[in-house]
Amino acid sequence: MDNLHPDDQPPATWRRDVSEGETEQAVHVAFTDPAFELGVLFCSLLKDPDVTAFELSQLVTPESLPQWGDFSGAIEWFRGIDDVGYGSNVDRALGDDAVAYFKVFSGTTSSYQVTDLQIMSGPGVLTLVNREGAGWRVHGVGSHIHPEQIPH
């Protein structure tokens, strides 16, 4: 937000810094959501210099696999994000709880809580799909993929 004109800065009250204990509690709660767990795992693998395409392929939807190729595009996208951070909850798609969005932010140098209605945007999201019998899988990275565009 530092690069915005002063008139375009959000109000100072839209967020507050949180303590380490509050951060730990929020992370603990977030990890009770399997979709959140998948988002963190997938991002952790994307930043791992030794990750293989096989490892990543185990976490994506089968029908999206051809579009991933060797995953170099996703790896490049993720590794290009400075000071990466994640939203502490996964947003379910409107009208379809089997599709969710894991938010990825840049410039995250400290933990904070959003205290006001505020649109949070970042470099992108992971679009996740819950498959019966298989659980949550990543369907795409970058921008939101709408539920009607996803077979499930």
d(Cα 25, Cα 19) in Å, to the nearest integer?
10
Per-residue pLDDT tens over the stretch 40-93: 999 999 999 999 999 999 999 999 999 999 999 999 999 998 888 787 778 899
Domain chopping of the chain, boundaries? 17-149
Q: Looking only at Cα atoms, what is the longest distance across the chain?
A: 50
Quote the mean pLDDT of the chain.
Answer: 80
Residue 94 has pLDDT above 70, yes or no: yes
Say which residue, 44 or 109, is predicted with more confidence: 44
Average pLDDT value for residue range 18-27? 53
Please state the pTM of the whole predicted model: 0.73
- Fold for 17-149, please state it: Nuclear Transport Factor 2; Chain: A, (3.10.450)
Q: DSSP string covering the chain, please?
A: -TTS-GGGSPPGGGEEE--HHHHHHHHHHHTTSHHHHHHHHHHHHHH-TT--HHHHHTTB-GGGHHHHTTSHHHHHHHHT-TT-EE-SSPEEETTEEEEEEEEEESS--S-EEE-S------SEEEEEEEETTTEEEEEEEES---GGGS--
